[in-house]
């Protein structure tokens, strides 16, 4: 049986489909004088794929629907499936490895055309991955491997480049510290059960420690807290970190916005309203809302074009089913900060919509 997606997940997904960047601009963050986001490079267009055939079945295995990225990309896949007359069902692993493995096996027993691994690594489930190959069930992933592209049993892993995401987040922190003329002391929040998270963490750590102002730039700690436990662990850990590092702690970096969902109150309780939080993914609805409001200590997030990536998942599945090679397309991430001056870049809804229409034109054979 498919696990019903929670109502708040539905709201997040619907908002995401209206446009990941709606109401947000690339510009100056709230005072005191943080850096501006650079103008984004023109978003590359995906290549044309083969037409789709109606009636295909896909099961989306979510690592945890509490993760806004996992939810947002599923809602986009669901939309693309409806437009192409495919059937898509979701299972929620709830962040529990054993449960995810069981759902993986049960999904294979249903013999779908394809499985999407939403936010977890197939290498953690070698038996099921081998079984998928024997059954000729297409495996594609979203954030399911260290890098975008084929490999590790996946026909394709849909993702932005995690090294680019990490660089954008770390550079925001460094620019912010330079403008404030203060040293940099960073705590990084990671979930080391995911290879893409480890890639981001290692890249952010390296970028901070290699800054031109060293030794005024340092990574104070890398905190390994599971995404599924962030809501409980962050309020406990923040006062401990504050006591341990005191004013040396100036910034937080995280591999996912969820770490900052529950960080504001404990920071205020610890007397640390000065700490600036920046996320290297994925641009959740909650994060975009609090950044836009300017009432949060999260100053920025590196957002994934989730509504576009859901369409790419269907395109990669269709390519595999039609005997065509993967697209090789790697979408671009964006550094999103609070709305700033009038000259800030406009929202990218129109760009994402244009790319989605390109997919539909390929699939349905109409302009």
What's the pLDDT score for residue 106? 98
What's the pLDDT score for residue 232? 95
How many other CB atoms are there within 10 angstroms of residue 270's CB atom?
Answer: 16
Who's near 138: CB < 8 A, 6+ residues apart? 113, 114, 115, 132, 155, 317, 320, 321
Residue 100's Cα: distance from chain center in Å? 19
Query: What are the DSSP E strand ranges found in the chain?
Result: 57-62, 87-92, 114-118, 138-142, 149-151, 154-158, 184-190, 217-224, 251-254, 276-279, 298-303, 334-337
With 0-12 / 13-18 / 19 or more C-beta atoms within 10 angstroms meaning exposed / middle / buried, residue 87 is middle
* Sign for the pseudo-dihedral over CA of 164, 73, 42, 178: negative
Cα 301–143–72 angle (5° rounding)?
A: 60
What's the pLDDT score for residue 323? 96
Q: What is the pTM assigned to this prediction?
A: 0.84
**CA 340 – CA 171 distance, rounded (Å):** 19
Packing angle of the helix pair 285-293, 7-17 (nearest 10 deg):
70
The residue ranges of the chain whose pLDDT is under 70 are 1-45, 214-215, 339-348, 367
Domains present along the chain, CATH in parentheses? 7-22+44-159+306-331+347-364 (3.40.50.2300), 162-303 (3.40.50.2300)
* Sign for the pseudo-dihedral over CA of 196, 255, 118, 330: negative
What's the pLDDT score for residue 31? 38
Who's near 343: CB < 8 A, 6+ residues apart? 27
Instruction: Please name which of 28, 29, 33, 21 lies closest in space to residue 299, comparing C-alpha atoms.
Output: 29
């Amino acid at each position: 049986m498919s696990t019903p997606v929670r109502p708040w997940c539905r709201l997040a997904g619907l908002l995401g489909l209206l446009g990941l960047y709606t109401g947000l601009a690339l510009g100056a963050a709230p005072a005191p004088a943080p850096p501006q986001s650079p103008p984004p490079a023109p978003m590359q267009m995906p290549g044309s794929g083969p037409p789709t055939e109606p009636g295909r079945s896909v099961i989306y295995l979510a690592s945890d629907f509490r993760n806004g990225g996992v939810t947002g990309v599923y809602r986009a896949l669901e939309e693309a499936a409806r437009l192409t007359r495919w059937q898509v069902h979701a299972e929620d692993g709830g962040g529990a490895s054993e449960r995810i493995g069981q759902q993986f096996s049960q999904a294979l027993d249903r013999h779908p055309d394809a499985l999407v691994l939403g936010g977890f690594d197939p290498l953690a489930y070698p038996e099921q991955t081998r079984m998928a190959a024997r059954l000729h069930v297409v495996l594609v992933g979203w954030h399911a491997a260290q890098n975008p592209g084929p490999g590790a049993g996946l026909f394709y892993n849909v993702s932005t480049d995690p090294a680019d995401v990490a660089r954008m987040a770390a550079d925001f922190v460094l620019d912010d510290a330079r403008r404030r003329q203060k040293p940099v002391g960073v705590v990084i929040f990671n979930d080391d059960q995911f290879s893409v998270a480890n890639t981001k963490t290692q890249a952010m750590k390296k970028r901070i420690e290699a800054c031109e102002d060293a030794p005024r730039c340092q990574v104070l700690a890398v905190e390994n807290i599971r995404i599924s436990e962030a809501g409980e662990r962050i309020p406990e850990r923040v006062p401990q970190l504050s006591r341990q590092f005191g004013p040396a702690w100036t910034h937080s970096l995280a591999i996912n916005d969820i770490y900052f969902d529950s960080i504001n109150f404990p920071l205020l309780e610890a007397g640390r309203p000065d700490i600036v939080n920046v996320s290297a993914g994925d641009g959740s609805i909650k994060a975009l809302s609090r950044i836009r409001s300017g009432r949060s200590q999260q100053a920025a997030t590196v957002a994934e074009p989730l509504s576009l990536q859901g369409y790419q998942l269907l395109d990669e599945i269709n390519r595999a089913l039609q005997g065509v090679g993967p697209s090789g397309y790697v979408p671009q991430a964006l550094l999103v900060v609070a709305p700033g001056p009038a000259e800030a870049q406009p929202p990218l809804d129109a760009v994402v919509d244009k790319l989605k229409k390109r997919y539909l034109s390929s699939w349905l054979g109409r302009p």
